[in-house]
Amino acid sequence: MSDRIVSRWANAKLTDVAQVWFSGVDKKSSPDEESIRLCNYVDVFRNREIRMQIDFMKATATKDEIKRNRLLEGDVVFTKDSETSSDIAQCAFVAESSNDLVCGYHLAIARPDSTRLLGSYLAFLMRFPRVRQQLVRSANGVVRYGLTMDAISDFTIALPSVDEQRRIVNILNTWDKAIENIDRLILLRKKNLTSTSTKILWEDRDDWRPLSDYIEPSRDRVGNNRSLEVYSVTRDGLKPQLEQFNKRIANEDIARHMLLKPNEFALSGLNFWLGSVAVSHLKHDVCISPDYKVFRFKPTASAEYFRHLVRTAGFREILSSCSTERASVVRKNFNRELFLESEVPVPPLAEQEKRATILNAVAFELRKTEAYRALLENQKRGLMQKLLTGEWRLDERFDAEALSPRPLNVGGRS
């Protein structure tokens, strides 16, 4: 923990203020055992809180296993085993329970002494990277990582009073609920963009023409004496290679790499059939893998119109139909001729630009909402830093409204 934690907060080992044990209940069912709902590894990964509306797996367990591993309201359940150390100690707070809800294998249960530690507060502590890193660093393994009880016994946390813990939880819950609301809005706006794109781009029964009327192959290479950023073409569009892989994949010599100019269309040489395609939105040239395919638009085509068209399910069907299997199901060859012969519904240029304007407005609202979500997440991390280290104190006089997130207005303005 940080040396900035105030001295009035006592440091305590988790096992001094909570019972902690590992579950051994597996997914197998036996007619000699009692039916249960099993809280699994994925349930902890996917949910901030364990509530009864989750579709838990059905399994069986002995009476002793149920008695020992039944989850109670106020518990914290966390991952003790994982294929990567970074997935160790992912946790969920048990906000609701029932007599048949049992913790599954590969998970640990922490049951706090409520007079000293709130489970909801412990869950926030374990999501705070500087705290959770204690457990991540102590996980042992090569192929698979795991926590031992000795490692958990050394896990130290700093404890304010239970009243202050409750105030901190109330504030951070407000931020989590705001983020959950934004996530729902993002999902709605994604669905709106998808449905609007389908309606605007694919419902024409006329004006179906081959792609060769609108695009032509580009074979431009980067060439010598140019220093360009390397990008990857993914299902989410163009991504800087360093951002996508956290390392440089390309060779230092990029002379033979494909040159991608603004408003040109590129598709992945490997995953194109899964939708790894994009029309460059960048204002400058970049380079992409020499295995990628690049096309430039003819004067009959609006790059903005095609930017939306290539992201649709209908266009992915075209890409899939232009692929042939190679040595494996994953790796497929691209049939350029068949692709260029494929017909798409493309109206005259003026109408393309009109429809693109409508879709750009819908996409803009989505991007703005996603940016607001990223802002909330960043602000919440900063707030956790202040509150969970004691840098900011919350006594009975604190202003909850001042620490609440600003709402996103209906029109998309924050």
- From residue 228, alpha-carbon distances to 2, 225, 240, 255, 288 in Å are 41, 10, 11, 10, 9
pLDDT at residue 66, as a whole number? 96
Distance CA 175, CA 169 (A): 10
CATH code where residue 62 lies: 3.90.220.20
Tokens at 124, concatenated: 């926030």
The SS3 of residue 240 is strand
Is 303 part of any domain?
Answer: yes
Is 73 part of any domain?
Answer: yes
> What pLDDT, in 10s, does the model give residues 182-225?
999 999 999 999 999 999 999 877 779 999 999 999 999 999 88
Q: How many domains does the chain fold into?
A: 2
Distance CA 119, CA 239 (A): 39
First to last CA, the chain: 34
The SS3 of residue 405 is coil
Residue 263: HSE in the Cβ half-sphere, 13 Å Cα cutoff: 9
Same domain, 238 and 124: no
Same domain, 92 and 211: no
Contact 394, 171 (CB under 8 A): yes
> What pLDDT, in 10s, does the model give residues 53-74?
999 999 999 999 999 999 999 9
How big is the chain, counted in residues? 414
Q: Read off the DSSP letter of residue 274.
A: G
Choosing from 303, 328, 346, the residue where a domain stops is: 346
Q: Read off the DSSP letter of residue 412.
A: S
Q: Read off the DSSP letter of residue 182.
A: H
Residue 135: HSE in the Cβ half-sphere, 13 Å Cα cutoff: 31
Choosing from 313, 346, 379, the residue where a domain stops is: 346
Mean of the pLDDT values across residues 1-14?
64
Mean confidence (pLDDT) of the chain: 90
Is 383 part of any domain?
Answer: no
Distance CA 288, CA 282 (A): 13
> Which range marks the domain in which residue 117 is found?
10-159
Share of the chain above pLDDT 90, in %: 73
